[in-house]
Amino acid sequence: MAAPHDDDPVWLDRMYNNRARVPGHPAYFARWAHDSAQVRAAAPPGVIDRRYGDGVNETLDIFPAASASSAPVLVFVHGGYWRSLDKSDHSFVAPAFTAQGVCVVVPNYALCPGTEAQPVTIPDIALQMVKALAWTWHHVAEHGGDPRRITVAGHSAGGHLAAMLLACDWKALGLPAQLVRNALSISGLYDLHPLMRTPSLQEALRLTSQDARRASPALWPAPKQGRLYSVVGGDESEEFLRHNALIRQAWGPRTVPVCEELPGLNHFSVLDALADPSHALHGSALSLLQDRR
């Protein structure tokens, strides 16, 4: 299911430039940063900026469950088109989950394009997230989390990375085959080829056709285990709606039992829904976290 006008740069920017599509996006970023700063300020000692590796931005934050041991673990991967934003902008996601007995881990990663001396590609970021998940499996029990119950959620670029992590061959890395039990992708992208020709993204991402293929989950075989819930805001572009349907088409309804467009939500308000205990999206995340299969 290819993009209908993927050779038209004007159309591609209209489809993929979410900040242009939502003129009020600075207010979302400001609120997320403000609320996240408050969450981090209230965090217990020793859980902010823990290193999971020695590379650029290889740190993560841990928000232990309010009142639980052996808690299910939600690893939340932030968005920003692999080129912007930071884990410190997304701590606000944690409290609604920690209050429900969930341990939340928010990793950081290097941003594209990096530097001339140390360039950063999307496959590089994916490998950083593999390192972050491996660290989580080894260490989350020290913070009350159950390493056997890890679910990954992500927004936008983070949604793309969440799908990749579900499909990762963990056993080949000497780790449990189902290290990631389930995943939730919010406004994820699953075939990166159109981004190669999107003017607003070309300079930062510098995507090659080889990297686009290597890092496109829709071109991979379906994961052998685990489930992916894929959701998108109903007010997002036709391309984001297409990507949401594409991953179910590629991996099948058994692996992707939930593939939904959430009415009235744009590319940024859809993330607010995840952090809202009264929203169905938050409930969907909890159902994945509580899955003991």
Domain with 84 in it: what CATH number?
3.40.50.1820
Strand partners, 51: 59
SS3 labels along the chain: CCCCCCCCHHHHHHHHCHHHHCCCHHHHHHHHHHHHHHHHHCCCCCCCCEECCCCCCCEEEEECCCCCCCEEEEEEECCCCCCCCCHHHCHHHCHHHHCCCCEEEEECCCCCCECCCCECCHHHHHHHHHHHHHHHHHHHHHHCEEEEEEEEEEECHHHHHHHHHHCCCHHHHCCCCCCEEEEEEECCCCCCHHHHHCHHHHHHHCCCHHHHHHCCHHHCCCCCCCEEEEEEECCCCHHHHHHHHHHHHHHHHHHCCEEEEECCCCCCHHHHHHCCCCCHHHHHHHHHHCCCC
How many domains does the structure of the chain reveal? Answer: 1
Residue 285's region, left for phi above 0, alpha for psi from -120 to 50, else beta, is: alpha
Q: What is the pLDDT of residues 251-279, one digit of tens each?
A: 999 999 999 999 999 999 999 999 999 99
Q: What average pLDDT score do residues 184-203 get?
A: 97
So what's the pLDDT on residue 3?
A: 62
Asked whether the predicted pLDDT for residue 212 surpasses 80, the reply is yes
The answer to whether residue 2 is domain-embedded is no
So what's the pLDDT on residue 69?
A: 82
Asked whether 198 and 9 are in contact (CB, 8 A), the reply is yes
The answer to whether residue 57 is domain-embedded is yes
The answer to whether residue 30 is domain-embedded is yes
Is beta strand 59-63 parallel, antiparallel or unpaired with respect to 50-51?
Answer: antiparallel
The answer to whether residue 3 is domain-embedded is no
The answer to whether residue 1 is domain-embedded is no
175: domain range? 9-289
So what's the pLDDT on residue 2?
A: 58
Structure tokens at 2: 């290819």
- What distance in Å separates the CA atoms of residue 18 and residue 237, rounded to the nearest whole number? 8
Q: What is the pLDDT of residues 100-152, one digit of tens each?
A: 999 999 999 999 999 999 999 999 999 999 999 999 999 999 999 999 999 99
Q: What is the pLDDT of residues 216-264, one digit of tens each?
A: 999 999 999 999 999 999 999 999 999 999 999 999 999 999 999 999 9
The answer to whether residue 4 is domain-embedded is no
The answer to whether residue 221 is domain-embedded is yes
Closest CA to 109 of 129, 79, 93: 129
So what's the pLDDT on residue 291?
A: 87
Residue whose pair of structure tokens reads 């859809």 in the numeric block: 270
Asked whether 18 and 188 are in contact (CB, 8 A), the reply is no
Determine the distance from the C-alpha atom of residue 41 to the mean position of all C-alpha atoms in its chain, rounded to a whole number. 24
Structure tokens at 151: 């679910």
The answer to whether residue 244 is domain-embedded is yes
- What distance in Å separates the CA atoms of residue 37 and residue 90, rounded to the nearest whole number? 9
